[in-house]
Each structure stands twice: as structure tokens, then as C-alpha cells.
Amino acid sequence: MDIKKVAVIGAGIMGHGISQVIATAGLEVKLYDISEEMLEKAKYKIENSLERGIKKGKIDEKAKKDILERISFTPNLSEAVKNADLIIEAVYENLDLKKDIFKKLDAICLNETVFASNTSQYSITDIASVVSNPSRVIGMHWFNPPVAMNLIEIVRGIETSEKTVSRIKEFSLKVGKESVVCKDSQGFISTRILVAMRLECYRILEEGIATKEDIDKTLRLAFGHPMGQFELSDLSGLDIEVPICESLVKVFGDRFRPPQNLLQRVSAGKFGRKTGEGWYDYDEK
Ligand SMILES: NC(=O)c1ccc[n+]([C@@H]2O[C@H](COP(=O)([O-])OP(=O)(O)OC[C@H]3O[C@@H](n4cnc5c(N)ncnc54)[C@H](O)[C@@H]3O)[C@@H](O)[C@H]2O)c1
């Protein structure tokens, strides 16, 4: 069954970008958040991003209008998920919160609806344990910013059905993304690789071996990465890194333990671009 109607839960960094990609691919998307302020910010950010697309000659005014018309912003969960073929959850990286949302969805959604989580590392099997039909639950891990990044990491929980995997593979292609599939394992493929590299950058800084600017420059110029890990951490948010590290420590041990320089910034509310300060300072929040 073709996926035509999509609901996205959580209008933050990922949720708004994911919604923009889906609407750009010509599908209807309803974006839900408990915070009306986040919904307003999401709309503003999508409009800005489309405006940049016009300036670069990638889309015209009509396309911008059509894309925006395909996205509804709502603080009402039942209204958002009504008749959805696919629901993509992108709320804070908190396992209890995610499970709570999936439990609510289970009670109000059609049995055919696929439930996808954009979690960066939690067990899909664990999240699926709260719903009556876990075969429809899957990991759909997008990358930041969703508009620019071409990969979706599909995570198969123990009970995820083949049908659910193929529907999400097909949907990924439809919205213009490549996909990889992996088994449900803490940190999947990408988060394990990314966190290992990022923590090594933090440790090099903490040991006083180099400045963050030079560590970032090394990643960009020696390895061809588009951004350094400090820049990327500021973009994705330092606050979401700590729980990710802590969960990885539980499974893989000390190699994923978050260093002091990360923990202190998070305690001080320096979460990166979204708070105006992280590893670097930013004028705009
Ligand atoms: N930021 C990244 O680079 C990145 C990349 C890949 C995956 N992820 C994952 O995507 C998810 C979202 O991350 P983010 O960076 O977009 O977070 P964010 O902090 O930018 O946004 C989270 C949103 O969830 C909303 N929310 C909280 N509780 C809610 C509820 N009960 N119902 C509806 N909305 C609720 C908040 O209001 C907020 O708008 C996380 O699981 C994260 O691990 C993040």
C-alpha cells in the first residue's frame, strides 16, 4: 500500500526539516507539536529555507506556495494522525516520552499505519513493545539537515515485518533519499561511528592538544568532511548527545563516556545554535 499521507510528531530541528522534504516530494504532511511556539518557529524556518531555495534558483514562488500548502501545522494529535499512512516521531531523545507517544498512537491509529521513530539510538524493539502490533514499528533515522542529507537509516526491530521495511524503503526513495537497513542494535550504524569520532575530537580539545577550530579544520581539509565535529555538534544540539552517550556506555562501555567539556556546557545550557552558544557563539538563535 502506497504511503500518501504522513504525520510528523515533533516540530523541532528534525521534524520541521522532515516535513519540508515530504511536502517537497508532493505528499501531504501534518506536523504536530505540543508547543505552539515550536510550530510557529517550524513554519518560519520552512518558509526561510524555501526562500533560500528560490534565491538559489532551485524552486520558484509557485513551488514554494504549493509546498507550504501541503504542510498543516497542528497542536492537536488526533487531528494530525487521522488517516495517516505513516507517522514519523521526532520528539526529544527520551525513551519514556517516545514510548508514551507510541502508546497514544496505538490507541487512535488505523492498523495499517506505519509507526516510525527518528530516534538516533534507542532500541526500536523496546519502543515497539508498547504497541499492540509491533510489526508496524520501524526506525527511520534521518540526518540533519533533512533537506540536504541524502540518507535514511532504516532500523528493523525484532518484530518489524518485511512489509513495513519495504514500505519505508519505497517511501524513502519517493522522497528522494537513499536508504540503508540495519538490525536493531544500540546506536545502529551511523550513531556509533559518529559518536566515537566526535568524542575523540572532544578529548583532543580537553587534553589541550589543539583548538576546536583546528580540529574542525582537520576534519574538513584532511578528510573532506563538509563540517567539523564541533560545528556539527552545535548544529544538532549538545543536549541530545549526553543521553546518547549514556545509552551507548551501557552497552559498549567506557569508550562512549561523555567528557567533562561536553557535560559542563550542557549543564550551563549551552546547547549549540538553538541556544545561541555551544562550542562556538552565534548571534542568532
Ligand atoms: N538534531 C539532530 O541532528 C538529529 C539527527 C538525527 C536524529 N535526531 C533525533 O530526532 C529526534 C528529535 O530531535 P531534534 O533535534 O529535532 O529535537 P528538538 O529538541 O529540536 O525538537 C524536539 C521537539 O519535540 C517536541 N515535543 C516534546 N514533547 C512532545 C510531545 N509530547 N508531543 C509532541 N511534540 C513534543 C518539542 O516541543 C520540540 O519541538 C530525537 O530523537 C533525536 O535523537 C536528531
285 residues of the chain, pLDDT tens digit each: 789 999 999 999 999 999 999 999 999 999 999 999 999 999 999 999 999 999 999 999 999 999 999 999 999 999 999 999 999 999 998 999 999 999 999 999 988 999 999 998 899 999 999 999 999 999 999 999 999 999 999 999 999 999 999 999 999 999 999 999 999 999 999 999 999 999 999 999 999 999 999 999 999 999 999 999 999 999 989 998 998 999 999 999 999 999 999 999 999 999 999 999 999 999 765
Is 119 near ligand 1, meaning CB less than 6 Å away?
Answer: yes
Q: Where in the chain is the domain with CATH 3.40.50.720?
A: 5-183
Cis bond before residue 243 (omega within 30° of 0): no
Asked if residue 42 has its Cβ within 6 Å of ligand 1, the reply is no
Are the C-beta atoms of residues 144 and 17 closer than 8 Å to each other?
yes
pLDDT for the residue numbered 56: 95
pLDDT at 240: 87
> With respect to CATH, is domain 5-183 assigned 1.10.630.10?
no
Cβ atoms 255, 265 nearer than 8 A: no
> And the C-alpha cell for 75?
497542536
222 CA → ligand 1 middle, Å: 32
Interval between CA 14 and ligand 1 midpoint (Å): 6
Query: In angstroms, rounded to a whole number, what is the distance separating the alpha carbons of residues 136 and 117?
Result: 11
Nearest-atom number in ligand 1 for the CA of 89 is 11
- Count, residues in the chain: 285
Q: Is 247 in the pocket of ligand 1 (CB under 6 A)?
A: no
Query: Is 14 near ligand 1, meaning CB less than 6 Å away?
Result: yes
Distance in Å, CA 33 to ligand 1 centroid: 10
The CATH 1.10.1040.10 domain(s) of the chain lie at 190-275
Residue 284 has a pLDDT of 60
Using the atom order of ligand 1, give the atom closest to the CA of residue 16: 16
Pocket-testing residue among 8, 9, 14, ligand 1, by greatest number of atoms within 8 A of Cβ: 14
Which residue in this structure is represented by grid cell 509491533? 134
Task: Count the helix, strand and coil residues of the chain and give each as a percent rounded to the nearest 5.
Answer: 50, 15, 35
Q: Are 187 and 198 in contact (CB under 8 A)?
A: no
From the CA of 10, how far away is ligand 1's center (Å)? 6
Pocket test for ligand 1, best of 8, 18, 33 (most atoms within 8 A of CB): 33
On whether the 190-275 domain is CATH 1.10.1040.10, my answer is: yes
108 CB-near residues (< 8 Å, 6+ apart): 77, 78, 81
Residue type, 168: I
**CB distance 34 to ligand 1 below 6 Å:** yes
279: left (phi > 0), else alpha (psi -120 to 50), else beta? alpha
Does pTM top 0.75 for this prediction?
Answer: yes
